[in-house]
């Protein structure tokens, strides 16, 4: 750079010398001053700097991670299933569900009564008759066995091992000359007619049958499980739900109107109309086991509430 500047200064100096020489010469020969043109300065060449090359860094090699060994879990041993404990089925027992029940020497009403049991008492079962309607229980006084009706008890326990026992029917003894109270029921019947029918007036369009199914004396005790079946002009038109194990009243004691009777079975029929009716109790198999109570209804007869009581013949 200094060398170029020095050359430039020297060229200007030489140019000035030549100019002065020409001026002097001109003035001498011609007498006129000829002014030489100003030289065009030579442009200064600016050196171009070459770009510095950029060094590309060598990529660093990342080492691959060392694989971690996977631990295989140890299998947990499954403990053996415990052997189930077999609980033996308890022996069959009966619980007395009626207020009281007679115990007889055989499975039937024709056998004599040998004792009685009370509600809530339990006894072991030692036998059953072929139809399953009587259970032989043990023990009354002095290890005595006897028979009780199945509809007067609730049974539980193992029934598979109960032996079926056949007891010969005893030869009937001559009946006493005096008329029994209550009268002897028709063979096969389990109830007498103990109440009614009692007819009571009502203003509604329903025929209502209030029925008391009971045993014992006085007010007695309720007997559950019996149904009332009703025929209208000889055709069965209704069957009630089973009788309850407790009594109810058809009206509260302070009610100023209505008919108040004690019952444990109720059946209602809408608009009975003009008809002849028959009502009786049936057992779970649908067999009639009580006397037939008959009555008649008509649209002009207001006595459409009827009270009937069936007393156990046991």
> In 97-148, which residue ranges form alpha helices assigned H by DSSP?
none
Domain containing residue 249: CATH number: 2.60.40.10
User: Are 230 and 293 in the same domain?
Assistant: yes
Q: How far is CA 249 from the centre of its chain?
A: 34
Does residue 185 sit within a domain?
no
Q: Give the number of domains in the chain.
A: 3
User: Are 217 and 308 in the same domain?
Assistant: yes
Residue found by looking up tokens 């203003």 in the block: 203
Domain, as residue range, for 203: 191-312
- Is the pLDDT at 31 greater than 50? The verdict is no
Buried (b) or exposed (e) across 117-152, using 16+ Cβ within 10 A? beeeeebebbbbbeeeebbbbeeeeeeebbbbbbbb
Q: Alpha-carbon distance 182 to 313, whole Å? A: 8
Q: Alpha-carbon distance 152 to 313, whole Å? A: 13
Q: Alpha-carbon distance 90 to 60, whole Å? A: 86
H-helix or E-strand spanning residue 154: strand 153-156
* pLDDT digits 0-9 by tens, 150-161: 999 999 988 888
CB-based contacts of 311, cutoff 8 Å, min separation 6? 182, 191, 192, 193, 194, 195, 214, 215, 220
Mean pLDDT of the region 143-152: 90
* pLDDT digits 0-9 by tens, 118-128: 888 999 999 99
pLDDT range class, residue 77, cuts 50, 70, 90 = low
Does residue 127 sit within a domain?
yes
Q: Alpha-carbon distance 168 to 107, whole Å? A: 10
User: Are 196 and 307 in the same domain?
Assistant: yes
Q: Alpha-carbon distance 260 to 251, whole Å? A: 5
Does residue 262 sit within a domain?
yes
Whole-number pLDDT of residue 74: 64
Q: What angle do CA 120, 283, 247 make, to 5 degrees?
A: 50
Whole-number pLDDT of residue 79: 67
Name the nearest CA neighbour of 303 among 185, 190, 206.
206
Q: What angle do CA 256, 259, 264 make, to 5 degrees?
A: 130
Does residue 174 sit within a domain?
no
Q: Alpha-carbon distance 223 to 210, whole Å? A: 15
User: Are 212 and 286 in the same domain?
Assistant: yes
First-to-last alpha carbon distance for the chain, in angstroms, is: 150
- Say if residues 140 and 104 touch (Cβ distance below 8 Å): no
Last residue of a domain, one of 133, 156, 179: 156
Does residue 277 sit within a domain?
yes
* pLDDT digits 0-9 by tens, 32-74: 444 555 556 655 555 555 555 555 555 555 655 665 655 666 6
- Is the pLDDT at 162 greater than 50? The verdict is yes
Name the nearest CA neighbour of 38 among 17, 13, 10, 15.
15
Does residue 30 sit within a domain?
yes
User: Are 198 and 292 in the same domain?
Assistant: yes
User: Are 195 and 268 in the same domain?
Assistant: yes
Give 108's DSSP letter: S
Whole-number pLDDT of residue 291: 94
Answer with the residue of higher pLDDT: 304 or 60: 304
Global pTM value = 0.42
User: Are 119 and 227 in the same domain?
Assistant: no
Q: What angle do CA 17, 23, 24 make, to 5 degrees?
A: 90
User: Are 205 and 151 in the same domain?
Assistant: no
Answer with the residue of higher pLDDT: 277 or 55: 277
Whole-number pLDDT of residue 254: 74
User: Are 104 and 196 in the same domain?
Assistant: no
User: Are 202 and 141 in the same domain?
Assistant: no
Averaged pLDDT score across all residues of the chain: 80
- Say if residues 279 and 297 touch (Cβ distance below 8 Å): no
Neighbouring C-alpha atoms within 13 Å toward the C-beta of 44: 10
User: Are 214 and 105 in the same domain?
Assistant: no
> In the chain, which residue ranges form alpha helices assigned H by DSSP?
2-29
Look up residue 47 and give its two tokens: 């050196």
User: Are 99 and 143 in the same domain?
Assistant: yes
Domain containing residue 122: CATH number: 2.30.30.40
Answer with the residue of higher pLDDT: 54 or 314: 314
Strand partners, 245: none
């Amino acid at each position: 750079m200094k060398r170029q500047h020095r050359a430039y200064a020297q060229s200007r100096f030489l140019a000035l010398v030549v100019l002065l020489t020409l001026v002097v010469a001109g003035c001498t020969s011609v007498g006129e001053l000829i002014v030489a043109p100003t030289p065009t300065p030579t442009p200064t060449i600016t050196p171009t700097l070459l770009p510095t090359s950029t060094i590309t860094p060598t990529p660093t090699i990342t080492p691959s991670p060392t694989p971690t060994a996977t631990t295989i879990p140890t299998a947990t041993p499954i403990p053996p299933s415990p052997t189930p404990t077999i609980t033996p089925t308890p022996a069959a027992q009966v619980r007395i569900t009626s207020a009281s029940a007679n115990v007889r020497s055989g499975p039937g009403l024709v056998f004599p009564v040998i004792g009685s049991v009370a509600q809530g008492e339990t006894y072991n079962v030692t036998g059953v008759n072929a139809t399953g309607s009587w259970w032989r229980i043990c023990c009354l006084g002095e290890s005595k066995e006897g028979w009780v009706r199945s509809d007067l008890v609730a049974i539980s326990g193992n029934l598979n091992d109960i032996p079926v026992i056949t007891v010969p029917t005893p030869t009937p003894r001559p009946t006493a000359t005096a008329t029994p109270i209550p009268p002897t029921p028709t063979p096969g019947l389990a109830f007498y007619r103990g109440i009614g029918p009692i007819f009571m007036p009502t203003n509604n369009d329903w025929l209502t049958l209030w029925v008391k199914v009971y045993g014992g004396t006085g007010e007695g005790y309720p007997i559950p499980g019996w149904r009332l079946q009703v025929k209208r002009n000889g055709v069965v038109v209704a069957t009630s739900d089973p009788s309850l194990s407790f009594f109810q009243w058809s009206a509260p004691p302070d009610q100023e109107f209505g008919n108040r009777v004690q019952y444990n079975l109720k059946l209602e029929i809408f608009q009975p109309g003009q008809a002849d009716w028959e009502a009786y109790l049936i057992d779970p198999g649908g067999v009639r086991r009580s006397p037939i109570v008959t009555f008649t209804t008509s649209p002009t007869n207001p006595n459409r509430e009827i009270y009937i009581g069936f007393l156990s013949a046991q």
